[in-house]
Structure 1
Amino acid sequence: MIDKLEFFIALAREQHFGRAAEECGISQPTLSAAIRQLEENLGVGLVVRGSRFQGLTPEGQRVLEWARRIVGDTRTMREEMRAARKGLAGHIRLAAIPTALAMIPKLTEPFQAKHPEVTFSVVSRTSLQVLSQLENFEIDAGLTYLDNEPLGRVTSVPLYAEHYTLVTSEGTPLSDRKEVTWKDMAGLRLCLLTPDNQNRRIINQHLASAGVDVRTMLESNSMVVLLAHVGTGRWASIMPRNVARSFGFSAQIRTIPIVEPKASHVVGLVATHREPFTPLVSALLHEARNLGVIDPD
């Protein structure tokens, strides 16, 4: 039954029989047969069928909630028994918003020093993708904003607050200032994260509140791309202070605090709310709480 529930979760996530089968490492006929067996066992139809996948039935949506809970509990039990036999070991999958990537070593380095048999993988995702992948068991935990948009049913631990700066080259407009305001951003050639990133939505909100209509000259989902363009001297950007400083800019690059108002937003660790947590996630949350609030400077 557990394997069939895992297949069903994969199908709901991929919304395509072929892709779900590939992800599960089985053939498409095997996946289809397993879903039909699950439907027969439960006595309800789970999938709206046609020439291709057309979604879940209302009963399928409800079964999906139970499947996530049952599969999650089963994985927790297995990890707990493995930890009891061998100590804490395994792999933690993390997803982080682009602006939080530079802060991840603050968490992973002390954690791995205490638990050397644990490995990590880290991917960059938008805040919405972080929450979606948590729900679908694609990641174990994420780093995202805690105070700007709804999080849903998660456990969260605050890690640090973002403070925003203008990042620009010497000799460009405003580069000689010690502070700038959000209104000062008008007329700059800005490069910013793409609108699907919450950081961009936050920046747009603050600019709109200041009555500034900015024309963004370049967008990217990569902070590296933005920083590289700022380095050419032709673009400026608005970035969290910790991100700008983590790249070790040359003396020609200025990071200037943005004030009036001085905005900040909290970033933290999130995990699917459940009791008990897997041993790995429980230990990671414990480490995050031990860190307290990290000073991003």
Structure 2
Amino acid sequence: MIDKLEMFIALAKEGHFGRAAEVCGVTQPTLSSAIKQLEEQLGVQLVFRGSRFQGLTPEGQRVLDRARRIVGDTRALRDEMRALRTGLAGNLRIGVIPTALPMISDLTTPFTRRHPNVRVTILSRTSVEILAGIERLDLDAGITYLDNEPLGRVAQVPLYSEFYRLICAPGSPLAARAEVTWADLAGLPLCLLTGDMQNRRIVSQHLAEAGVTGLPMVESNSTIALLAHVMTGQWVSVLPKKLADLFVQSGRLKAIPILGPEVEHLVGLIAAQRDPATPLITALLDAARRVAEDSVR
């Protein structure tokens, strides 16, 4: 039954019998047969069929929600039994918002030092993609904002507060300023993250509150691309302080505090809320709490 539920989850995610079969490591006829057997066992039609996959029936959608919980609990049980036999091992998939990528090593370095048999995969994702990935079991955990948009029912550990800086080249007219206000950003040639990024929504919100339109001339889903544009001297950007600090030490960029008001947003670790959590997630949450404690000492 568990194998069939996993195939059903893969089909719902991929929306294609062939791709789902490839993900599951089986042939397409094997996957199709498993879905039909699952329908027979449950007594309902799960999938609209035609010449191709046409979506889930209403019953299929309800089964999908339960299937994710059942498969998640089963994986947690397997991990717990494996940890009892051989110690903590396995692979952690962590989705991270782009602005937090430079800080993820603060968590993963001590974690992997304590648990050397655990492999960590770090994936750059938007906050929305992180929540969806955790729900779909594609991600085990995420680093994202905790206080700006609804998270739903997830375990969470605050890691640090994000403050904001105007990033510009040394030759910029504002480079000599000790601080700026959000209103001072009016009319500047901005390059910002794309609108699907929560950081962009945060920045746009604070610009709007200061009466600034804040329409960027350049936008990207990569902070590296933004910094490369700022280094040309033609653009300025708004980025978190922790990220900015990594790039201003060379002297090629200036980071100016944005006040009036100074705003902060909480970034932290989230994971699916399960009781009990898997040994891997329990260990990761513990590591995040230690990182948070160290940051305030």
**When the two structures are superposed, what TM-score results if normalisation uses the length of structure 1?**
0.96
Instruction: Tell me the residue number matched to 1:156.
Output: 156
Matched, 1:65 2:68: no
Q: Is the 8 A contact 1:159 1:294 kept in 2?
A: no
Instruction: Tell me the residue number matched to 1:97.
Output: 97
Q: How far has the Cα of 1:248 moved from its partner?
A: 4.9
Helix, strand or coil: the match of 1:172?
Answer: coil
1:138-157 matched pairs, under 5 angstroms:
138-157=138-157
- The residue identity in structure 2 corresponding to 1:81 is M
Helix, strand or coil: the match of 2:48?
Answer: coil
Q: How far has the Cα of 1:18 moved from its partner?
A: 2.1
Matched, 1:177 2:177: yes
Helix, strand or coil: the match of 1:48?
Answer: strand
Q: Is the 8 A contact 2:248 2:254 kept in 1?
A: no
How many residue pairs are counted as aligned between the two chains? Answer: 296
What do the CA deviations read for 1:183-206 (whole angstroms, capped 9, x no partner)?
Answer: 111111111111000000111111
Distance 1:213 1:248, change over 3 A: closer
- The residue identity in structure 1 corresponding to 2:141 is A
Percent identical across equivalent pairs? 61
Helix, strand or coil: the match of 1:150?
Answer: coil
Which structure 1 residue ranges, 4+ long, deviate > 3 Å from structure 2?
293-296
Distance 1:292 1:198, change over 3 A: same
Instruction: Tell me the residue number matched to 2:266.
Output: 266
| Greater mean alpha carbon deviation, residues 13-22 or residues 271-280 | 13-22
Distance 1:295 1:190, change over 3 A: farther
Instruction: Tell me the residue number matched to 1:54.
Output: 54
CA RMSD between the two structures: 1.4
2: CA distance between counterparts of 1:252 and 1:226? Answer: 14
Q: How far has the Cα of 1:50 moved from its partner?
A: 2.6
Q: How far has the Cα of 1:295 moved from its partner?
A: 4.4
Instruction: Tell me the residue number matched to 2:8.
Output: 8
2: CA distance between counterparts of 1:226 and 1:45? Answer: 49
* Structure 2 gap ranges (5+): none
2: CA distance between counterparts of 1:211 and 1:132? Answer: 33
Instruction: Tell me the residue number matched to 2:84.
Output: 84
Helix, strand or coil: the match of 1:262?
Answer: coil
Q: How far has the Cα of 1:52 moved from its partner?
A: 2.5
Instruction: Tell me the residue number matched to 1:129.
Output: 129
Matched, 1:208 2:208: yes
Instruction: Tell me the residue number matched to 1:106.
Output: 106
* Structure 1 gap ranges (5+): none
Helix, strand or coil: the match of 1:215?
Answer: coil
**When the two structures are superposed, what TM-score results if normalisation uses the length of structure 2?**
0.96
Q: Is the 8 A contact 2:248 2:255 kept in 1?
A: no
1: CA distance between counterparts of 2:177 and 2:268? Answer: 31
1: CA distance between counterparts of 2:276 and 2:21? Answer: 30
1: CA distance between counterparts of 2:249 and 2:39? Answer: 58
Q: Is the 8 A contact 2:247 2:253 kept in 1?
A: no
Q: How far has the Cα of 1:173 moved from its partner?
A: 2.5
Instruction: Tell me the residue number matched to 2:25.
Output: 25
Q: How far has the Cα of 1:293 moved from its partner?
A: 5.3
Q: Is the 8 A contact 1:160 1:294 kept in 2?
A: no
Q: How far has the Cα of 1:214 moved from its partner?
A: 2.2
Distance 1:294 1:57, change over 3 A: farther
1: CA distance between counterparts of 2:295 and 2:186? Answer: 30
Helix, strand or coil: the match of 1:216?
Answer: coil
What do the CA deviations read for 1:112-170 (whole angstroms, capped 9, x no partner)?
Answer: 11111111110100000000000111111000000000101111100011100000011
2: CA distance between counterparts of 1:195 and 1:293? Answer: 33
Q: Is the 8 A contact 1:158 1:293 kept in 2?
A: no
Q: Is the 8 A contact 2:169 2:233 kept in 1?
A: yes
